[in-house]
């Protein structure tokens, strides 16, 4: 079996392209969207319809129960198990989504975290919240890992905190942890082709506006209202784009038009981050939306080699 990553920004047409390619090449689709993993998050996550799922085998949709959460590491384990299970059934598996970190973790693995990770994370966050916390942690980083300190700035609290967490948990410098990870990295076990849909903000915006209107017409507000009746708003998936704004709408005097505009703008901001993330990967073959012919040519050459 060969594997094709189909990536791109939200609302760019990834799912449609993957569906048409899977039909044409007798393949299967595996989800790589962090929100489509959850049950009962249907409208706001733009899951494939039941008709689409019936036309081609789909995997890793609705696999996390409502109220539960999943980590990137757990996703990778599920995806690897799925690939192994279906590798003799399909010539091609299309892994589709916009969650860049999941794709990276699946292809290249993840840093080990250690059992004390959550406790250490909380401790480091508390230290960072003090007036001189960031500077003190930066001094610790400089003393233990001057190489890492050259590329991490004191005001970059996320990367600084993560570096300190890893060093304290593993008892090694960040540079040593990274070197060990790279030396133990196993190659991706299947031949891999990466396809991406490239869309400028100007071309993406009308697509996002239309999809947002469709979601609202399909019952996004009711979907979120019912979810809130059964779960607290702090459930992680409800902080994702589309759901977060609708939760706010239900607790404020915001109008439907304002909700539509807020979802659109937040979706475009998310798309910018996705564009930046995937843009760093030089192995992606970029296509225009709906370019099944161009994708098929690439895929035919890939399957035959």
Q: What span, in angstroms and rounded, lies between the C-alpha atoms of 31 and 99?
A: 10
Q: What span, in angstroms and rounded, lies between the C-alpha atoms of 139 and 160?
A: 11
Q: What span, in angstroms and rounded, lies between the C-alpha atoms of 28 and 227?
A: 30
Q: What span, in angstroms and rounded, lies between the C-alpha atoms of 266 and 268?
A: 5
Gyration radius of the chain over CA positions: 21
Residue whose pair of structure tokens reads 């890793």 in the numeric block: 60
Return all residues near 115 (Cβ < 8 A) that are at least 6 apart.
none
Beta-strand runs (E) in the chain: 2-8, 28-31, 58-59, 92-96, 192-197, 284-287
Q: Which DSSP state fits 38? A: B
Q: 76 with 121, same domain? A: no
Q: Could you say which residues of the chain have pLDDT below 70?
A: 111-117, 184
pLDDT of residue 181: 72
Q: 265 with 288, same domain? A: yes
User: How far apart, in Å, are the Cα atoms of 89 and each of 47, 82, 193?
Assistant: 24, 11, 19
Q: Please report how many Cα atoms fall inside a 13 Å half-sphere around the Cα of residue 267, on the Cβ side.
A: 28
Q: What span, in angstroms and rounded, lies between the C-alpha atoms of 172 and 176?
A: 6
Point out the domain boundary residue: 153, 184, 215: 184
pLDDT of residue 213: 98
pLDDT of residue 121: 81
Q: 141 with 281, same domain? A: no
Domains contained in the chain, number: 2
Q: 178 with 198, same domain? A: no
pLDDT of residue 286: 98
Burial label, 150 (beta-carbon count in 10 A; 0-12, 13-18, 19+): exposed
Q: Which domain holds residue 152?
A: 117-184
Point out the domain boundary residue: 148, 163, 184: 184
Burial label, 104 (beta-carbon count in 10 A; 0-12, 13-18, 19+): middle
pLDDT of residue 109: 85
Q: 135 with 266, same domain? A: no
Q: What span, in angstroms and rounded, lies between the C-alpha atoms of 146 and 118?
A: 25
Q: 198 with 236, same domain? A: yes
Q: 55 with 159, same domain? A: no
Q: 238 with 121, same domain? A: no
Return all residues near 246 (Cβ < 8 A) that are at least 6 apart.
44, 220, 221, 224, 259, 263
| Exposure b/e, 27-59, CB count within 10 A at least 16 = b | bbbbbbbbbbbbebbbbbbbbbeeebbeebbbb
State the CATH number of the domain containing residue 157.
Answer: 1.10.20.140
Q: 300 with 152, same domain? A: no
Largest CA distance in the chain: 60
State the CATH number of the domain containing residue 105.
Answer: 3.40.50.300
Point out the domain boundary residue: 167, 184, 201: 184
pLDDT of residue 113: 55
């Amino acid at each position: 079996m060969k594997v094709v990553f189909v990536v791109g920004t939200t609302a760019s047409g990834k799912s449609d392209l993957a569906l048409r390619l899977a039909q044409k090449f007798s393949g299967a689709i595996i989800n790589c969207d962090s929100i489509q993993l959850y049950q009962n998050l249907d409208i706001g996550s733009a899951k494939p319809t039941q008709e689409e799922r019936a036309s081609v085998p789909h995997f890793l949709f609705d696999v996390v129960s409502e109220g539960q959460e999943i980590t990137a590491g757990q996703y990778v384990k599920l995806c690897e198990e799925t690939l192994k299970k279906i590798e003799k059934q399909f010539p091609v598996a299309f892994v589709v989504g916009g969650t860049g970190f999941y794709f990276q973790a699946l292809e290249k693995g993840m840093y080990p975290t250690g059992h004390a990770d959550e406790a250490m994370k909380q401790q480091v966050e508390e230290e960072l919240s003090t007036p001189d916390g960031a500077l003190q942690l930066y001094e610790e980083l400089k003393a233990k890992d001057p190489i890492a300190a050259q590329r991490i700035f004191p005001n970059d609290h996320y990367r600084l905190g993560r570096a300190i967490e890893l060093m304290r948990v593993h008892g090694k410098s960040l540079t040593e942890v990274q070197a060990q990870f790279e030396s133990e990295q196993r190659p991706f076990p299947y031949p891999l082709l990466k396809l991406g849909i490239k869309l400028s903000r100007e071309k993406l915006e009308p697509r996002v506006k239309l999809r947002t209107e469709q979601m609202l017409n399909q019952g996004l507000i009711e979907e979120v209202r019912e979810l809130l009746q059964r779960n607290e708003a702090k459930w992680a998936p409800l902080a994702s784009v589309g759901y977060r704004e609708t939760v706010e709408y239900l607790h404020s005097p915001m109008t439907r038009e304002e909700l539509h505009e807020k979802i659109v703008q937040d979706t475009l901001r998310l798309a910018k981050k996705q564009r930046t993330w995937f843009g760093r990967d030089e192995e992606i073959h970029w296509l225009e939306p709906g370019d099944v012919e161009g994708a098929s040519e690439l895929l035919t050459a890939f399957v035959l080699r």
